[in-house]
Amino acid sequence: MNTQINQDAPRVGFVSLGCPKASSDAEHILTRLRSEGYEISPSYDEADLVVVNTCGFIDAAVEESLEAIGEALAENGKVIVTGCLGARDDVVLAAHPQVLAVTGPHATEEVMQAVHKHLPKPHHPFIDLLPPQGVRLTPPHYAYLKISEGCNHRCTFCIIPSLRGDLVSRPIHEVMREAETLAAAGVKELLVISQDTSAYGVDVKYRTGFWGGKPVRTRLLDLARALGELGIWIRMHYVYPYPSVDELIPLMAEGKILPYLDVPFQHASPRILKAMKRPANAENVLERVRKWRSICPELTIRSTFITGFPGETEDDFEQLLQFLDEAQLDRVGAFAYSPVEGAAANELPAAVPAEVREERRMRLMSFQEDISTQRLEARIGSEMTVLVDEVDEDGALARSPGDAPEIDGLVIIPDGEDLEVGDFVRVRITDCDIHDLYAERVEQGGA
């Protein structure tokens, strides 16, 4: 990519908040901006206007987004708002009526129209302003690959469908073209994301597409097989535990994709799962987890849970702890229930006091801490290939196949100061703490 700044080009500042799906939206917008000759400004005072990509999933995210918009207005004065909170333009405009425009999520065209209106594009953009892989917010060695938009679920605690709409799967040839371009650009790990990764292709009845001259169905198994041929790490996120997920596990055992599943279970009490409008059979989930691990013993499972959902009793919460004890999940995140404006759960009876919600969250994390630590301890003495994220004079920070960037743990390599970011390296695990592994180099190898 040409790093020389065109001093005469119009400059756009960019602030991006929220989840990887929001980051993926941001990357599409940034790619369009750069392809049309706009410069991306690193500061408010050098920008001609600022785009703020917001999050609106929970109240805390709404507050953070409104603060970010206010800061951009105070520092620059010209602000375009996009992202999930943008779908609630009344909230944005009530707090900041002076913004130039408000658009919802995955709205690249609408954002560009607003930019063109308030900051006309250059007449002669150079072809070398944009690398083939587009503009990325992630480091060069990993990237998010979004395979669909929206969600067909109507979970009572969630307003994502009202923000992002129903499921719309990307054509499989388009997904594979992006994946191949990223791999050719040096990306070593693709993180497959969507609101509901397991449902990929449901909306188009698993339509057959073509890639590399061969027919490929628009469904997760076929996509995983095709991605597995790229020779890089493929990591699956936001995978609902449908029966079709079982088909992925042999691919993991064969080393085609990483032995990693990010499955948002949310709870284990059948009564609470029913109130959430989630699948309500924890016993079947436990049996399937056991089956997955029998096929692929190296499988890492991460999940998230909500404590203090309306109507949750102490018995419901104990059922959740019992589930964690039996499931022995590797990585767990927990959130105290937060009422979200527009969510159906707000109307449910028997609201749990805020202090009880938080107390249960802390108890869950304390309970899970021992399980996670024991599972890390079981890796001591084993060898594995890791991917290097950072290097300095104190060594290297890497990730194992069981660690996604930013949300999971690290593999700390004290003798890795001569490694390079993006290297795959073979290590032996020597120790661990609550979250991270410590390792020594064995030999440097490929993926």
Residue 40, beta-bridge partner list? 12
Longest Cα separation, the chain? 66
Which residues lie below 8 Å from residue 397, measured CB to CB, with a gap of 6+?
388, 389, 390, 391, 410, 411, 412, 413
Residue 294 backbone phi and psi in degrees, to 5? -70, -30
Distance between CA atoms of residues 385 and 298, nearest Å: 13
Q: Is 158 annotated as a binding residue?
A: yes
Distance between CA atoms of residues 369 and 332, nearest Å: 9
Q: How many CA atoms lie within 13 A of 161 on its CB side?
A: 13
Q: Is 296 annotated as a binding residue?
A: no
Q: Is 84 annotated as a binding residue?
A: yes
Which residues lie below 8 Å from residue 221, measured CB to CB, with a gap of 6+?
244, 247, 248, 251
Q: Is 19 annotated as a binding residue?
A: yes
Q: State the virtual CA torsion across 407, 408, 411, 412 in degrees, nearest 10.
A: 50
Q: Is 55 annotated as a binding residue?
A: yes
Distance between CA atoms of residues 167 and 21, nearest Å: 14
Distance between CA atoms of residues 107 and 28, nearest Å: 9
Whether residue 246 contacts residue 288, with contact meaning beta carbons closer than 8 Å, is answered with yes
The token duo for 127 is: 């072809």
Q: Is 432 annotated as a binding residue?
A: no
Residue 233, beta-bridge partner list? 189
The binding site consists of 19, 55, 84, 151, 155, 158
Binding-site positions for [4Fe-4S] cluster read 19, 55, 84, 151, 155, 158
